Amino acid sequence: MERKKMTAAEVESRIASTGNWRFDNDVLFKRFEFANFAESLAFVNQVGEIAEAADHHPDITFGWGYAELRTTTHDRGGVTDVDFALVEKIDAID
77 near a copy of itself, rule: CB under 8 A: no
Rank residues 15 and 41 by Cβ distance to a copy of itself and give the closer one.
Answer: 41
Rank residues 13 and 45 by Cβ distance to a copy of itself and give the closer one.
Answer: 45
Rank residues 12 and 52 by Cβ distance to a copy of itself and give the closer one.
Answer: 52
The type of residue at 55 is D
One symbol per residue from 15 to 54: x for binding a copy of itself (CB under 8 A), - otherwise; what is it?
----------------------xx--x--xx--x--xx--
Separation of alpha carbons 34 and 9, rounded Å: 32
CB 47 within 8 A of CB 86: no
Angle of the 81-91 helix axis to the 37-54 helix axis, nearest 10:
140
